[in-house]
A = this chain, B = another copy of it.
Amino acid sequence: MYTRAARRAVPVIATNLERSQGSLLGRLAMANSSQPKRPKVVTLENMNPHVRTMQYAVRGPIVARATAIEKELAQGEKKPFPDVVKCNIGDAHALGQKPITFIRQVIALATYPELLSSDMFPEDAKARARRALSGCKNESVGSYSDSVGIEPIRQDIAAYIERRDGHPSDPNDIVLCAGASEGIRSLLKCVVAGEGKTRSGVMIPIPQYPLYSASLAEFDAVQIGYFMDEETGWSLKVSELERAVTEARKHSNPVAIVIINPGNPTGQVLNRENIEDIIKFAHRENLYIVADEVYQENIYAKGAKFHSFKKVLREMGPEYQTMELASFYSTSKGFMGECGLRGGYMEAINMDTEVFGMLKKLVSAKLCPTTLGQITMECTVNPPREGEPSYELFMQEKTAVLQALREKAKLVAETFDAVDGVSCNEVMGAMYAFPRIHLPKKAVEKAKELGMAADAFYCMRFLEEKGVCVVAGSGFGQVDGTYHFRMTILPSVEKIKEVMERFREFHSKFMEEYKD
């Protein structure tokens, strides 16, 4: 049969090599075997091509190399740096941020309710744990929750959105998810369809967070990039949206637009008029609005303010009130930084009832998001209130985190921008700087020789020489011929200062080496 024959045609030599890199057991088995070599059933050639094509730079080869270097250091290998600083991902706790006490107390209480009678815990933490447990079947976090999440938590999320926006929110529009990523992926999965010229397209910013490019590749949908304008502080121009959608309509069917605000990796914070213009654009073009608002607590620039897309939409004319909009939030960012606990939610307004039913069916096959991640979200949207015993400590911890981030945002952007051959916009929000590196032609040629993107080559050298792990701009997308990298601003102020020093040394040496 054709396909089986094709499968067997995979060169045996490759299979041997693979085997030799496999598990110890595999190797033993090989050694004992006198059988003819059998090709693998599933190979790179015949596996799912969409999985094969997708890219996810934030956890790509440079990160794997960083982890390997960490191990080499631990084994006593000498390096020209004392440690690896992983600035590749917004992983706050990994970089030293302390958890918010209240969140951890509530989770411990809900997990082990025997603690509810201990005087080690404040009453408000106990009250939140009890509230969460009241929504768990038989009051156990070990029961599956409804696939859309625990009901009192959905109510508290809606109440949070109402307080934030000054407009009603319906708990029935809320779906909890294991981190915003899972929710975003479920939504995108539902809205894309078609083949050939009618294949769905989703507009995403360039540079973008690679979850989007990866998921669209996996779902076989068309990525429609619109460029953020670096010259004007990574602003989002409607003329560029129009260019992108017009171009895309020639070969695909645009169905949705993703906006990341505050921006990742670019850190811009959209103002109200800008958001209005984007909504009007989506209305004209009949697009589903996907608002990635996971950094809504992370605003640093003077005068900047977070406006949720929903709030702005609600304050526009009646013709906009039935537009479909999904917004996402996460426990992984903000001041919480609880990445490992996997909490997040989607608020989807005006979704077609039947489509929403299908979305719920889709998430139900995954049973439910982790209950403890949901409780982390509960603590985030229903924090201690003034007068409650945990209030003071909570505010102190929250303020300290956000204050330090503000300081580091300024420090990092200004330091980068002051270096020759580097320019860096203000980090208005989120958790990243995205400096532009003006690479000499020789460096670009050298990278080409090595078969690498020029900024990936630069970042790999930075890692090997200084132990700092950042992600090349090519992983996020950028204007051709420009080069960037993304660095989180999450390490402590002292560490960030040290990282910036390592950067200055590396950069000037690199530029010297490759100067034209």
Contact A340 B368 (CB under 8 A): yes
- Report how many residues on chain A are interfacial, defined by Cβ distance under 8 Å: 134
Contact B341 A43 (CB under 8 A): no
Q: Which of A134-192 contact B (CB under 8 A)?
A: 136-138, 140-147, 167-170, 172-173, 178-179, 181-182, 185, 189-192
Contacts of A137 in B (CB 8 A): 91, 93-94
With a 10 A CB-CB cut-off, give which of A44, A111, A198, A358 has the most chain B CB atoms. A111
Q: What mask results when residues 344 to 366 of chain A are scored 1 for a CB within 8 Å of chain B, else 0?
A: 00000111111100110110111
Q: Which of A105-149 contact B (CB under 8 A)?
A: 105, 107-108, 111-112, 114-115, 118, 120, 136-138, 140-147
Contact A59 B115 (CB under 8 A): no
Q: What mask results when residues 258 to 282 of chain A are scored 1 for a CB within 8 Å of chain B, else 0?
A: 0000000000000000000000000
- Whole-angstrom distance between the Cβ of A125 and the nearest chain B Cβ: 10
Copies in the complex: 2
Contact A362 B51 (CB under 8 A): yes
CA distance in complex: A95, B319 (Å): 48
Contacts of A2 in B (CB 8 A): 198
CA distance in complex: A182, B371 (Å): 16
Contacts of A355 in B (CB 8 A): 40, 42-44, 47
- Whole-angstrom distance between the Cβ of A401 and the nearest chain B Cβ: 12
Contact B104 A111 (CB under 8 A): yes
Q: Is A241 an interface residue (CB 8 A)?
A: no
Contact A29 B361 (CB under 8 A): no
Stretch at the interface among A19-27, A231-239, A460-468, A476-484: A19-27
Listed A/B pairs (26) with beta-carbon separation below 8 Å = A1-B253, A18-B353, A19-B350, A22-B353, A24-B170, A29-B318, A29-B321, A35-B318, A40-B355, A41-B286, A41-B288, A43-B355, A44-B354, A47-B193, A47-B358, A48-B190, A51-B361, A59-B364, A59-B365, A89-B144, A92-B142, A93-B140, A105-B112, A108-B108, A145-B340, A211-B365
Q: Out of B178, B192, B339, which one reaches A342, CB within 8 Å? A: B178
Contacts of A51 in B (CB 8 A): 189-190, 358-359, 361-362
Q: Is A403 an interface residue (CB 8 A)?
A: no
